[in-house]
Amino acid sequence: MQQKSMGALEWGMLVALSLLWGGSFLFNGILVRELPPFTIVTARVALAAIALHVIVRMTGHSMPRDRQAWLAFFGMGFLNNVIPFLLIVWGQTHIASGLASILNATTPLFGVVVAHFLTADEKMTGNRLIGVIVGFAGVALMIGPSVLASLGGSNALAQLAVLAAAFTYSLAGIFGRRFRRMGLAPIIPAAGQVTASTVLLLPIALFVDRPWTLAIPSSETWLALAGLAILSTAIAYVLFFRILATAGATNLMLVTFLIPVSAILLGALILGEDLQMKHFIGMAMIAVGLAAIDGRLLTLPSRGRVGT
């Protein structure tokens, strides 16, 4: 079967998704000052679920009531939210965020392999594998090779946890393909999975964090939580399922290359952080990797010969 590629619309949605998820680093940086991790994660998906159910009603859609759909929502929530969120939160209590970002950027590497074995239309190709490796190298260079010095050692288990989260994200991308076959609009699985995630995460947050004992958050924290839930979760997951339906799981996972780019650019624009030469070189490598994965580097020369 023909390999799926992305047009201008899909690329635009992928960039928008990376901006929304890249912005989550800014929101999380505010939230961790006052709230514990499990409370943040649970509040994030719970508020997103409320917002998405409102949008579902406003757009004239309705949530399915059959068992098959809700089993799929719980499966997606478990793979795409519960497991990776908990693994990454725990991992980042032991390793630096830069290293965690690099490890998380292995998602497309896992995705290429998983999609090759579990799908019929997203098989591994040479240019796709090379593009993933080049893109991953760009992420590592942009964040800083120095963080790689902390690989292994006493924090090896935490690093494996983040890698496991990346692998789980790749499985979630494949699992989520079923929603298109079920004929569901992207808003429906987006609402369903965060609802299921809330049901699964709430008991953990209540047991671990005991949120009723926490001090009342500041207005800045509430605004950051609203941004994380509405922008980086509710709207982001509508884009997530739209891209998944039109471009496939492997292309969708490329967003993990773009998230560090978005986070660094947002940090420069909003927080006034410095952009260094390594950032520009890393972004260029990511662009080359993305072009190779999508076949641009191989098709452009042939297009040029056609016109001669």
44-72 per-position pLDDT tens digit = 999 999 999 999 999 999 999 999 999 99
The alpha carbon torsion through 140, 236, 162, 293 (nearest 10 deg) reads: -50
- Contact criterion met (CB below 8 Å) for 13 and 5: no
Please give the Cα distance from 189 to 69 (Å, whole number): 9
Predicted confidence at residue 1, as pLDDT, reads: 39
240-252 per-position pLDDT tens digit = 998 888 888 777 8
Task: Decide if 18 is inside a domain.
Answer: yes
Task: Decide if 308 is inside a domain.
Answer: no
User: Cα–Cα distances in Å, from 246 out to 11, 72, 230, 251?
Assistant: 11, 19, 23, 10
DSSP state of 120: S
Tell how many helices (H) and how many strands (E) occur in the chain.
Answer: 16, 0
Task: Decide if 1 is inside a domain.
Answer: no
Predicted confidence at residue 127, as pLDDT, reads: 76
157 lies in which domain range?
Answer: 8-301
69-81 burial string, b = 16+ CB within 10 Å, else e?
Answer: beebbbbbbbbbb
Number of domains the chain is built from: 1
Predicted confidence at residue 145, as pLDDT, reads: 66
Predicted confidence at residue 5, as pLDDT, reads: 63
Predicted confidence at residue 190, as pLDDT, reads: 93
Extended strands (E) in 164-209: none
Predicted confidence at residue 148, as pLDDT, reads: 61
The pTM for the full model equals 0.79
**Which portions of the chain are predicted below pLDDT 50?**
1-2, 300-308
Task: Decide if 306 is inside a domain.
Answer: no
C-alpha dihedral sign at 16, 18, 21, 27: negative
Chain position carrying tokens 């929502």: 73
Predicted confidence at residue 71, as pLDDT, reads: 96
Task: Decide if 116 is inside a domain.
Answer: yes
Predicted confidence at residue 194, as pLDDT, reads: 96
Task: Decide if 215 is inside a domain.
Answer: yes
Predicted confidence at residue 154, as pLDDT, reads: 64
| Residue type at position 10 | E
Q: Please provide the average confidence, as pLDDT, over all residues in the chain.
A: 82
Task: Decide if 289 is inside a domain.
Answer: yes
Predicted confidence at residue 303, as pLDDT, reads: 44
Task: Decide if 307 is inside a domain.
Answer: no
